[in-house]
Structure 1
Amino acid sequence: MDIGGTEGQDRKVPTHEVTYVQLRNMVLTGGLAPGQAVTIQGLIKELNAGMTPVREAIRRLTAEGALTLHGNRRVSVPRLTATLLDQIAFARLTVEPKIAELAAPRLSGETIERLVEIDAGIDPAIRRGDIPAYLTGNHLFHFTLYEASGAQVLVEIAQSLWLRFGPSLRVVAARYSEGRLPDRHLDALEAARAGDGRALARAIEADIAQGVDMVRQALQAGEV
């Protein structure tokens, strides 16, 4: 179930799954900043959920490396280290361009139009200082593309990597109040329209590398 997705409209989604997605989205969209500790009771109130589904969501996200559970009934998003960033970057640069290449021949005109629509909403979000909307749009752009690949195992790996990397983009995005936050989405869209898998893989690789470099700079400056 992706951010902003429609899953659950055709069937009843179990409460524990709804709670998991809500908490996962808080991590991905900057609702929980790296190093920010929150209480389990606070999450129960924030998510309007019971103790059991919140604990289950925390358990799953802890297993995925997205949260750290502390002994004082608090959880936090782990801070990135230079070593961890290098590992995540290597994994993302290996997995995600391949997913994009696999997606290229499977992209329908409708999916490409959806990608264009998503990307059109990203820059206005930055200009109005709506960081959660930017992070949501950026995630949705990538995973709308990735889901077209049919490579579900690789997509799940990418999701796990984004849970570890995504929160640090909040710091980077906060630097931009006008103009376009640097990305390679336009290059990706051009390649998608042409059905050029290798060009699409290169665009996604460049997009990831650019984001990693910006996070690395923020990390070196002590901002993350």
Structure 2
Amino acid sequence: MSSAGLSYCRHLIKIPAKIQYGKFRTQQLLCSPKTTILMVGSPSYERRSSLNADFHKPPTHEIVYRKIREMILFGELAPGQAVTIQGLVTDLDAGMTPVREAIRRLTAEGALQFQGNRRVSVPELTLAQLDELAFARQAIEPQLAFLAAQKITPAAISRLESIDDSLNAAVRRGDVKAYLEHNHRFHTTLYEQAEAGILFAIAQMLLLRGGPSLRVVCGRLGTNGLPDKHLQALSALRSGSPEAVANAIRDDVNQGIEQIRMTLSPPGV
């Protein structure tokens, strides 16, 4: 190769200048005025990797939204319990702006309501609202289960079995928060298999509206008073019967709704 060609190649390839103690110290040679090849382990490569990780990290307002949403879903914020916006800022170690944005989104979804004096609370369901919630859940969730059963893989069924095992363990030790988390995870993991984005989004909203009231049920009955139909759904999934899966989920939803109804009904009704 001519000296001119060799000189050109040196500008195309980035090579280590020295290897010391197992680490590369590199020269940065340009392939072109706009292109650089980075060696794995070089400082430039590590900086680029860090930038990529930051690029894929959810924005702060999204992280705060998810945290408050979980507080609602899993009982840290009970129906009727008022909290201050400043209190959420302190508890979440977040800025005022992302907390306000998260509250705005959750209020639009019906999961929070303003109380005035910079306070918000989780709405308490009325019996009429519970009837609406029951109608919507009975229409949406069995259909998602039916669609999921047609597409689900053995690996996904194994994940659901593992989640249900964790749920049952939480029931045995009386861990309400873990019970609520695993119950929600079981349903959402199943519904995701349907690959029906519109129905799934509606189901997520419905679970968010009903989750806090299920926490009230746990407080009154304890976790041992919360039977479900997950085993029936799993058995139907293994046998490949979409109709039976849909029926099991419908029964599971109805059972939960009736438990909530008991906590909302006046004594003696």
Q: TM-score, normalised by structure 1?
A: 0.91
Say whether residues 1:201 and 2:246 are aligned partners.
Answer: yes
1:180 to 1:194, Cα distance in 2 relative to 1, 3 A: farther
* Structure 2 counterpart of 1:34: 79
- The match for 1:158 among 203, 209, 218 is 203
- Aligned residue runs from structure 1 range 171-182, under 5 A: 171-177=216-222, 179=224, 181-182=226-227
- The match for 2:122 among 77, 84, 107 is 77
The structure that has the greater radius of gyration is 2
* Structure 1 counterpart of 2:138: 93
* Structure 2 counterpart of 1:4: none
- The structure with the greater share of residues assigned to strand is 2
Which whole-Å CA distance do the structure 2 matches of 1:48 and 1:196 have between them?
47
Say whether residues 1:16 and 2:61 are aligned partners.
Answer: yes
Which whole-Å CA distance do the structure 1 matches of 2:101 and 2:160 have between them?
33
* Structure 2 counterpart of 1:138: 183
For 2:58, what is the secondary structure of its paired residue? Answer: coil
Deviations 1:102-159 (A, max 9, x none): 1001111111000000001112212322211110000000000000100011010011
1:129 to 1:10, Cα distance in 2 relative to 1, 3 A: farther
For 1:38, what is the secondary structure of its paired residue? Answer: strand
1:110 to 1:63, Cα distance in 2 relative to 1, 3 A: same
- Aligned residue runs from structure 1 range 182-221, under 5 A: 182-221=227-266
Write out the 4+ residue segments of structure 1 that deviate beyond 6 Å after TM superposition.
Answer: none
Unaligned runs of 5+ in 1: 1-7
- Which is further off, 173-182 or 14-23? 173-182
Which whole-Å CA distance do the structure 2 matches of 1:46 and 1:97 have between them?
37
Q: TM-score, normalised by structure 2?
A: 0.77
Deviations 1:177-211 (A, max 9, x none): 56472110000101111121111100000000000
Unaligned runs of 5+ in 2: 1-52
Return the offset for 1:17. Answer: 0.6
